[in-house]
Each structure stands twice: as structure tokens, then as C-alpha cells.
Amino acid sequence: MTQSAWWGTLYDDLLADMLLERADPGQTAQTIEFLEGVLQVAPGQRVFDQCCGIGSLAVPMARRGYDVVGVDQAARYVERASEAAADAGTDPAASDAGGRARFYAADAGQFATEEPCDGGFNWWTSFGYSPDDRENLQMLLRARDSLRPGARFALDTMNLAGVLRGFQRDWVVRRSTPAGEVVLVRESRVDLEAGMMRKVWTYFVPGGETVVRRSSVRLYLPHALLGLFEEAGFDELALYGSTAGDPLDLDSPRCIAVGRRRG
């Protein structure tokens, strides 16, 4: 995977300000508590945040006392995550911090942590960007390589069956950003022949400028996702439909796959 691919331009400050800044601390806390439960981790342990973005989960986890290692392909997001960690007193230089967060700019399909982690996660549909299953598998392999034997990994993605049943072609959101009020229109199309969800992201920004980005995500039904987990070296597989711990069904807002690294 290379920076010339669509994700090299989609993930910029505009998208981060619109969608990655988490304003609900309760929702963040619920997500972290869910991860603590399914990953069987506790403060003081090392956790891997694969595709960490701007640190929306990594920094709060570090504040809770975890040693978090995050990676993201977007160097600007790593910069923002590092700034957030410093502001929270959880960067590596903070000697009095109960936890810390370290971030690296790299391809998640090639990056593995130097020290084994006690758990790991990949959140907010950051998986399946290639139409080639072999390429997507590399991300799960690097997650496995980053964990100690017996540690668990959780991956959050779209609940494909539910998305297709209630398919919504257009989605519009309006947000107040540092640049002013921005309107985002996202148009989705299901490419059944290729097995991809293709999206066009159109931002209407202050001053009359229009910014257009594109993305595509592989369509994985839950059993196919678990098949990739198994191929990557995970067992004790489980599926959840939300961070409330609900079982996966057609009405679930998300599909969360969890597996344990085999020894």
C-alpha cells in the first residue's frame, strides 16, 4: 500500500475536524471499557492502536494508565495525536504520567511494534482499503506480530449485512470547524462486481471552495472477516454488534471482530 492511494489524500485536517474529534466523553469511555473487557487488559499494560488517527482513543487510554503504541499512515494525524498526548501529559517525555502514548507514521500493513503488546485494536473502519484480500490480510498479520502469544485483537468495521439492508446512498453532516462551518455530502455506491463500497466525499467549506475526495472499502461479511482473522493466526474468535457488548445481528450499528493470538 502506498501514499499515492486514496487514503493518502482523504485523511487530512478537514476530515479530522469533521469526523475524528470526539465530543462525547461518555461514548469514548464506553469504547475503552468495552476494549478492556474483550481484550482482557488493565491499566499498566501495553496496547497497540493500529490506524490510530489523531489519537482519539489512544490518548484517553494513556490517561487511564496504559502504555499505548499507535501507528497511522497520515503523518499529520500522528503529529496531532502527539500534540494531544503532550497536552494530556501522556507523551513519552512526561515522567510523572501514569501512562503514555507514542505514535508512529507508517504503513499499518508493514508496521509491527518493537515490544509485544498485551492487546490491540483497529477502530472506526480502518481496515479493508484494498480490493486484494492478500493486502488487507497484511494488516492483521502485523497486528498479530505486535502481540504477545495469548493477547487479543479487536477490529471495528461496518456491519455489512445491516448496511446493505438499509442502504443509504447519501449522508449529509454540518460541523463547526477551526476553518468555520463546513458541510459534508458523502455519496455511497455498492460495487457488487468488485465487492467494494465506493464513496465520494464533497466538502463545502467557507469562502465557496469545494473539496472532493474518494474512498473505497472491501465488503466483508462477518464470516469472511473471521476467516481472515483465523488465517492471520487468531483463534477464540467472537463477534459483537456494538461497544455495549451486544451480539451481532442485522440491526447492529457495527461489526466488531475479536480474536486471540495463537501461541
Asked if residue 115 is part of any domain, the answer here is yes
pLDDT at position 23, please?
81
Are 86 and 105 contained in the same domain?
yes
Asked if residue 179 is part of any domain, the answer here is yes
Asked if residue 1 is part of any domain, the answer here is no
Are 213 and 196 contained in the same domain?
yes
Angle formed by the axes of helices 222-232 and 133-145, to 10°?
Answer: 50
> Using CA atoms, how far apart are residues 151 and 40, in angstroms rounded to an integer?
8
pLDDT at position 97, please?
55
Grid cell, residue 162, equals 445491516
Domain total for the chain?
2
Are 15 and 66 contained in the same domain?
yes
Are 80 and 135 contained in the same domain?
yes
Contact 238, 154 (CB under 8 A): no
DSSP string covering the chain, please? --TTSTHHHHSSHHHIIIIIS---HHHHHHHHHHHHHHHT--TTSEEEEET-TTTTTHHHHHHTT-EEEEEES-HHHHHHHHHHHHHTT-STT-TT-SSEEEEEES-TTT---SS-EEEEEE-SS-S--SS-HHHHHHHHHHHHHTEEEEEEEEEEE--HHHHHHT--SEEEEEEEETTEEEEEEEEEEEETTTTEEEEEEEEE-TTS-EEEEEEEEE---HHHHHHHHHHHTEEEEEEESSTT-PBP-TT-S-EEEEEEE--
Q: What is the CATH number of the domain that holds 199?
A: 2.20.25
Are 199 and 142 contained in the same domain?
no
Are 150 and 234 contained in the same domain?
yes
Are 103 and 191 contained in the same domain?
no
Are 52 and 147 contained in the same domain?
yes
Are 206 and 232 contained in the same domain?
no
Q: What is the residue-level pLDDT of the chain in tens, covering all 263 positions?
A: 544 599 999 999 999 999 999 888 999 999 999 999 999 999 999 999 999 999 999 999 999 999 999 999 999 999 999 999 999 999 887 755 579 999 999 999 999 999 999 999 999 999 999 999 999 999 999 999 999 999 999 999 999 999 999 999 999 999 999 989 999 999 999 999 999 999 999 999 999 999 999 999 999 999 999 999 999 999 999 999 999 999 999 999 999 999 999 98
Range of the domain at 244: 7-161+219-261
Asked if residue 199 is part of any domain, the answer here is yes
> Using CA atoms, how far apart are residues 150 and 143, in angstroms rounded to an integer?
13
Are 17 and 69 contained in the same domain?
yes
6 Cβ contact list (under 8 Å, min separation 6): 129, 213, 214, 215, 216
Are 17 and 79 contained in the same domain?
yes
Asked if residue 203 is part of any domain, the answer here is yes
Are 47 and 81 contained in the same domain?
yes
